[in-house]
Amino acid sequence: MAGHYRALAVGVEIPLLGFGTYLIPDEQAADAVEAAIRAGYRHIDTAEAYGNERGVGEGIRRGLAAVGIGRDEIFVTTKLFPGMGGVFKSAREVETAFEASLSALGLEHVDLYLIHAPFTPEQRLEQWGAVVGLHESGRARAVGVSNFNVRHIEELVAAGLPLPHANQIELHPWSQKPEIVRFLEGNGIVPIAYSSLVPLSTWRAAPGHASGKTDEMRADGESGDSPFKAMAAKHGVSEAQVLLRWGVQSGYPVLPKSTDPARIRENAEVFSFELDEDDMRVIAGLDRGAGVAWRTGDPVNNA
């Protein structure tokens, strides 16, 4: 998969194919991450809030040894849990949390460190200033945010702080977010896509999913005339591969997650085909607006 990268503003290259670890328990994370590295993934995404950084780090070490590559060939992202219930981490607590993440991962640096979500303006500015300091120290090769909207990012600039290098947001054919994507691209901020597989009936398909959209996704995903089914049949691939291919073909690093080694390998096969102009045109017309991953509503659409 050489060459399937995108450069961040600081010159660090981020692989377009990433392996997501959200909802993978710590005790399963090592096996899943090792399987991903064996399958060719060179971008591993975790977070303080996922509670699996220790297992992810073990999986990275095992994976590197298994395929005979060095740490510099793996791109590792983790995220700051900013706080909750009106209690947010101070600048000093950001550094403490970052050091705890490094320790759990067993790494001397990460390639990308993100603030996981925006809350109050005061919190955003203090935490972003601390995160920028981690980048300046070299312990985070690139830094960014997640779930921030245009106004959130403009606030950082207005305060005299640097722009983020990336913004990880919910992006898929049902939530294409053209306004913020234009803003990010116009300011040299790389959009990273999560929840790329939302339109499938199997996406977090447990009854009563927080978004309230499970039944809708199941019905649409199982429909015989699903456009994703048609595209998958045309290209001889899976519907998941179609959705992931749309992401990378749009220039977004994607983060598919699985604990099934066969599915992990299948999801990695996104560079063996291309969606044609008709496919991309059809998908452009499927946008439904806000994302569905958050119980409280898509943060990018919130004030």
Q: Which residue has the higher pLDDT, 230 or 84?
A: 230
The CA–CA distances, whole Å, from 185 to 164, 165, 182 equal 12, 11, 5
Alpha helix ranges (H) inside 7-68: 26-38, 53-67
Going by pLDDT thresholds of 50, 70 and 90, the confidence category of residue 206 is very low
Amino acid at 68: G
Has 113 been annotated as catalytic?
no
Which residues sit opposite 77 in a β-bridge? 45, 112
pLDDT mean over 199-212? 64
Please tell me the chain's helix, strand, coil percentages from 3-state DSSP, rounded to the nearest 5.
45, 15, 40
DSSP 146: E
CB 275 within 8 A of CB 249: yes
Residue 208 confidence (pLDDT): 45
DSSP assigned state of 273 = -
Mean pLDDT of the chain: 92
Q: Which residues sit opposite 20 in a β-bridge?
A: 45
**In the predicted structure, residue 202 carries a pLDDT above the cut 70:** yes
Contact 2, 154 (CB under 8 A): no
Contact 116, 81 (CB under 8 A): yes
**Average pLDDT, stretch 159-185?**
97
More confident site: 57 or 217: 57
Look at the alpha carbons of 249, 253, 259, 265 in this order and tell me if their dihedral is positive or negative: positive
Pick the catalytic residue: 50, 113, 194, 252?
Answer: 50
Give the helix/strand (H/E) hosting 76.
Answer: strand 75-80
Could you give the CA distance from residue 19 to residue 254 in angstroms, rounded to a whole number?
8
Range 246-265 average pLDDT: 97
Average the pLDDT over 88-96 and give the result. 97
Mean pLDDT within 258-274: 97
300 pLDDT above the threshold of 90? no
Percent of the chain clearing pLDDT 90 (strictly above): 84
pLDDT digits (tens, 9 = 90+) for 116-128: 999 899 999 999 9
Give the rounded distance of the alpha carbon of 69 from its chain centre.
Answer: 23
Report yes or no: 153 and 271 within 8 Å, Cβ to Cβ: no
Instruction: Report whether pLDDT(134) > 70.
Output: yes
**Max avg pLDDT among 43-47, 85-89, 290-294:** 43-47
The SS3 of residue 246 is helix
Give the global pTM. 0.94
Mean pLDDT computed over 227-231: 96
Residue 238: is its pLDDT beyond 60? yes
- Is the Cβ–Cβ distance between 255 and 18 less than 8 Å? yes
Q: For residue 175, what are the CA distances in angstroms to 253, 287, 289?
A: 16, 5, 5
d(CA 277, CA 270): 17
